[in-house]
Amino acid sequence: MQTYLLSRLGASIPTIFGITVLIFVAMRVLPGDPIAVIASEGAGTQRLSDEQLAYARASLGLDRPYWLQYASWMGDVARGNFGTSFWRGEPIRDTILRRGPITAQIALMAILISWLLGVPVGLLSALKRNSPVEYVVRVLVTLFMAIPSFWIGLTVVLVGVLVFTWRPPLSIIYFWDDPFGNLQMTIGPAVALGLGLAAVNARMVRATVLEVLHEDFARTARAKGLSENLVLWRHVFRNALLPVITLSGLALGGLLGGSVAVERAFGVPGLGLALVQALNERDWMMIQNLVLLYGLIFTAINLAVDLSYGWLDPRIRYQ
């Protein structure tokens, strides 16, 4: 286990290095000079002088050689310094610390909802195959897979406003400060995102359970005299969860990056909304560091998913 963990961590190093290089190159091969674009589009009618443009480039380190810019950026990131937003003048680290907990909470709640709804529905569909129950489940699963999450979010907001005169809070409320107010802000986006994931999980669970039910180890367990319930829960269910965990890991990485449409629908100031605002404002430093953060999150989640395989499936051995 330790050897496998070290090897996976070692493999993550070139992955992270490639992510940083890709982000660095992409930010510098985009058409137009970043400062010139900021000056012409972001400042409206107020144009910056040549001296102000030169000062802005120097403050961002854009007047230095590329290799020195990259080394300086990596040094700042290693020290936890993500720079400052060009327009807002706020440290990017503060933005991440302020908005990150809300986005993380919504993402985790959405994954939890997808498991609480999707896994039992998928099991029921597999065990009641070709029955009226399974046909109803199939229709509902297809329906929620087809409906976009932002449409569910808008529906929740409209029903809450028109029927229950409820409006989601527009300011950031943390769970440890006001649990009830925090849930008012996060439960809507979590449900809107979780229902679509639950439908995908249900279909995945159904397919994998039907496949694993006829594997050799399941037939052997039945031949030994184990009841069907023990075969299902002790052998079939754990092995059927592997694809669901992989899918949920990928979904969690995307959700931690923020679902912009749902955040806009509910007025939640999350990281996804911060990235879109940075793109609209051409906030070069904010974009670069937020994309790096998303890459690091995906790498960490993929590592956690790989490590969970051996616990769920004893046939997998870490080497």
pLDDT digits (tens, 9 = 90+) for 235-259: 677 777 778 888 888 888 778 766 7
Both 153 and 6 in one domain: the answer is no
Task: State which of 43, 78, 113 marks the end of a domain.
Answer: 78
In a domain, residue 297? The reply is yes
pTM value is 0.77
Task: State which of 78, 108, 128 marks the end of a domain.
Answer: 78
Both 198 and 129 in one domain: the answer is yes
CA-based nearest residue to 127, from 242, 236, 234: 236
Q: What is the pLDDT of residue 43?
A: 46
* Rg, Å, the chain Cα set: 24
> How many degrees, rounded to 5, is the angle at CA 128 between CA 127 and CA 129?
95
Domain span at 148: 99-312
Q: What sign for the dihedral angle of Cα 123, 127, 130, 132? A: negative
Task: Give the span between the Cα atoms of 235 and 140, in whole angstroms.
Answer: 28
- The structural domain count of the chain equals 2
In a domain, residue 60? The reply is yes
DSSP 91: B
pLDDT digits (tens, 9 = 90+) for 248-291: 888 887 787 667 778 777 777 888 778 878 877 777 788 888 88
Burial class (CB in 10 A: 0-12, 13-18, 19+), 4: middle
The domain that holds 246 is classified in CATH as 1.10.3720.10
Virtual torsion, Cα 155, 156, 157, 162, nearest 10 deg: 80
Q: In which residue ranges of the chain is pLDDT below 70? A: 1-2, 4-5, 30-50, 52-53, 56, 59-60, 161, 165-170, 216, 226-228, 234-235, 257-258, 309-319
**Which own/partner pairs from 228-233 qualify as long-range (CB within 8 Å, at least 24 positions apart)?**
232/127
In a domain, residue 256? The reply is yes
Task: Give the span between the Cα atoms of 36 and 319, in whole angstroms.
Answer: 52
Helix axes 92-127, 132-146, angle to 10 degrees: 160
Both 53 and 145 in one domain: the answer is no
- β-strand partners of 91: 84
In a domain, residue 94? The reply is no
Both 108 and 72 in one domain: the answer is no
Both 104 and 71 in one domain: the answer is no
DSSP 30: S
Q: What is the pLDDT of residue 112?
A: 92
Both 194 and 59 in one domain: the answer is no
Task: Give the span between the Cα atoms of 149 and 190, in whole angstroms.
Answer: 10
Both 11 and 135 in one domain: the answer is no
